[in-house]
Amino acid sequence: MSAHLDALRQAVAVSPDNVPLLVLLADGCLDQFLLSEAKQYFQRALAKDSHHLGAQLGLARVAYQEGNLSEAVVRAEAITAAHPPCAEAWLLLSRLAFLEHKLNEAREHYAKARSLDPNLRDQGLEKDLSKPSTGAPPPPPENLKPLPATLIEGEEPDGPSAFESEHPADEPNLSSAAAFDLSVEFERPSIAFADVGGMNAVKEDIRMKIIYPLKNAELFRQYGKKTGGGVLLYGPPGCGKTLLSRATAGEIKGTFISIGIHQVLDMWLGNSEKNLHKIFELARQNTPAILFFDEVDALASDRANMKFSAGRNVINQFLAEMDGATGNNEGILILGATNAPWQVDPAFRRPGRFDRVLFVPPPDEEARVSIIELMAKGKPVQKLDARALAKRTKDFSGADLKAVFDVASEEKLAVAMRENRIVPITTDDLIRAAKSLQPSTRAWFENAKNYALYANQSGFYNDILAFLGIKK
């Protein structure tokens, strides 16, 4: 088997741009649990062909195997949103939902995967799903062995881990959210702006547009100004849109309710409007609340396929809820995020809806320094030279920087296990890891540039042009 991998490695060395070959090698590595190597080849394949389904699926699986469950969910959901018939992505989502104790959702996803591909089966999962729900946490996947406590990475800031089943006493009660068949993330985030590196301009915008109006609601009322409405964050993947949204909720000590748009669209016909209403009601009962809608573009892009008729009703319901036509939205801040703002239906950008649109750029050098410093916290990093690493990670997103730490940590962890002692990570290790990775934001800008140049109605994408240093 490893001889087979070696042959593939040699073939890739000869044809480094051969995407199917890269994916084949990556899949082989994944089978052997060579996770960081698999990840690297999948990423290289995606850098050449950003739409490669096998590579996208591969990265979702790597994240799952690594125990980065929130990343795995995000990746798998992105796949099912763009390629609804991808049975394997539904299967992965089913496993992930099961780990998150969302039994109904897990069953639904499993049924969906089987209906798309009857040959796809996971008998272990099937057995788990057929058990009545006991409320006891399911065991983690077998490969997720606990790490020595000293080497465990800093807390993953993006979403709670699936294993944190205990909620602190002051945490909102999840049962009201679980009462309907829709998976919503519902929490009081403990992270605030200080936990998000850089992004000062966007943070300030959010303070001005969201936080101050909320804190001075009475004053705003006196002047006849309504608070609320929505802010749409857009930009390349992995640059902190989701993280910053959670931190905004933490900043106002409010509730964070997160929901993927395609989840709304995938709900059974007829129920989706009702459920959407319940989500808004949930927010109204838990103010101040940030209602976070991820992948807002899915609303528009889904119109192209068969979900059109169901989608239209949901969209109208969504707009009505946003407009406050069905309840009082005081104290609710609606944040949306998208990588593809050009696909968002203009109806969403009318006043009172997502009327403020903020570009979330990749971190500049200064921002990378602070992100790197944040990420090094709680890890055995020796004499960190954040500036040196920041200088060598141009165009890296926050998520890419996290990958740099992951790769370096993994290497050191292997040594640490062999030598049975803590082996510190050095700046050189991190720089080496950075060299092995590709920044993921460039591909996004190549695409975005076209919209900014040729579909820039009312200067909507001026921020992109400014970022690219293009004068109009």
* CB closest to ligand ATP, residue no: 398
Helix (H) or strand (E) holding 271: helix 271-285
Q: Cα dist. 313→31, 241, 264, 267, 272 in Å?
A: 43, 27, 11, 12, 9
Nearest to 243 by CA among 374, 414, 352: 374
Pair 388, 431: CB distance under 8 Å? yes
**Contact window for Mg ion (CB under 5 A) among 44-52, 169-177, 233-241, 282-290:** 233-241
Nearer to ligand ATP, 158 or 266 (CB): 158
Site for Mg ion in 328-367 (CB under 5 A): none
- The least distance separating Mg ion from the CB of residue 342, rounded to whole angstroms, comes to 17
Nearer to Mg ion, 156 or 330 (CB): 156
Nearer to ligand ATP, 58 or 198 (CB): 198
Nearer to ligand ATP, 84 or 260 (CB): 260
Among ligand ATP, Mg ion, none, residue 157 binds (CB under 5-8 Å by kind): ligand ATP
* CB closest to Mg ion, residue no: 242
Among ligand ATP, Mg ion, none, residue 284 binds (CB under 5-8 Å by kind): none
Q: What are phi and psi of 134, to 5 degrees?
A: -105, -15
Residue 160, token pair as written in the block: 């709670």
- The least distance separating ligand ATP from the CB of residue 197, rounded to whole angstroms, comes to 4
- The least distance separating ligand ATP from the CB of residue 370, rounded to whole angstroms, comes to 7
**Contact window for Mg ion (CB under 5 A) among 197-205, 215-223, 236-244, 395-403:** 236-244
- The least distance separating Mg ion from the CB of residue 337, rounded to whole angstroms, comes to 5
Distance CA 321, CA 71 (A): 29
Name every residue whose Cβ is closer than 8 Å to that of residue 459 and which is 6 or more positions away in sequence.
none
- The least distance separating ligand ATP from the CB of residue 70, rounded to whole angstroms, comes to 7
Nearest to 232 by CA among 388, 127, 355: 355
Distance CA 296, CA 233 (A): 10
Q: Which of 36, 40, 242, 427 binds Mg ion (CB under 5 A)?
A: 242
- Read off the DSSP letter of residue 347: G
- The least distance separating ligand ATP from the CB of residue 441, rounded to whole angstroms, comes to 10
Binding site for ligand ATP (CB under 6 A): 157-158, 196-199, 237-243, 337, 339, 363, 371, 374, 398-399, 402
Q: Is 272 near Mg ion (CB under 5 A)?
A: no
- The least distance separating ligand ATP from the CB of residue 246, rounded to whole angstroms, comes to 8
Name every residue whose Cβ is closer than 8 Å to that of residue 122 and which is 6 or more positions away in sequence.
91, 94, 95, 110
Nearer to Mg ion, 36 or 242 (CB): 242
Distance CA 434, CA 438 (A): 8
Helix (H) or strand (E) holding 196: none
Question: What residues make contact with Mg ion under the rule CB under 5 A?
Answer: 241-242
